[in-house]
Chain A
Amino acid sequence: AQTVTQSQPEMSVQEAETVTLSCTYDTSESDYYLFWYKQPPSRQMILVIRQEAYKQQNATENRFSVNFQKAAKSFSLKISDSQLGDAAMYFCAYPGNAGNMLTFGGGTRLMVKP
């Protein structure tokens, strides 16, 4: 069974500072995608960033970047210059071998202090 683990139930960051959210996953596949989703209090999940496992380069989307360590099966999310609007639940997700559904981690609640 595929598992996705987020070891930090809650994280706190000062506005304008940088924070890193951790994620590890288990897979026997060599080519796959990984995702970080954000779920604000309104509950609508939105995609933050996506990483293709065969790419050496870490994905970057504006203030969001990943540190993808394929051998270690680690996929952390770095948020730079944190803003109040970044406060939300963040979920790491992996499609799984069947490719038909995403397996989500348990989530990390990010709080941003003004």
Chain B
Amino acid sequence: GAGVSQSPRYKVAKRGQDVALRCDPISGHVSLFWYQQALGQGPEFLTYFQNEAQLDKSGLPSDRFFAERPEGSVSTLKIQRTQQEDSAVYLCASSLAGHNTGELFFGEGSRLTVL
């Protein structure tokens, strides 16, 4: 597709349920990032992939969070045993190469609400 696609756009989960959020980056983009954005705040870094390699996962808040990008394209962010504090918008972004000079292209995000 022309842009970064994320699904689902909205997800409501009961506390304790597992959820999976999908990101389809722009074709050919090497780098992929996940961010968590709480209401009214700036995005917070979660994890970074270069192709299929997860090079940085320092932002994942707990071992309940897991991300993968097995074929270097589509990525999935999985949250196990969801808690209310996990409620946020999860943003995916991709870039053609390493990002520190280049533009990140963002998806519209997946809004997770944990009841």
Contact = CB atoms under 8 A, between A and B. Distances in A.
Chain A complexes with chain B = yes
Interface in A35-54: 42-47, 50, 52
B107 A105 contact: no
B106 interface: yes
A81 B98 CA distance: 34
Contacts of B93: 45
Interface string B30-52: 00010000001111110010000
Contacts of A46: 106
B77 interface: no
B56 A42 contact: no
Contacts of A105: 42
Given A95-B99, A98-B56, A99-B100, A43 B109 contact: yes
B91 A102 contact: no
Classify the secondary structure of B's interface with A.
loop
Contacts of B43: 45, 91, 102, 104
Interface in B86-115: 89, 91, 93, 98-101, 103-104, 106-109
Nearest to A98: B56
Contacts of B108: 42-44
Contacts of B103: 47, 50
Interface of B: 3, 33, 40-45, 48, 55-56, 59, 89, 91, 93, 98-101, 103-104, 106-109
Interface of A: 4, 6, 32-33, 42-47, 50, 52, 91, 95-96, 98-107
Given A91-B43, A104-B44, A107-B42, 5 more contacts: A45-B106, A52-B101, A98-B56, A100-B100, A102-B43
> Which 6 residue pairs of A and B lie closest in terms of their CB atoms, listed nearest first?
A104-B42, A99-B100, A95-B100, A45-B106, A101-B45, A47-B103
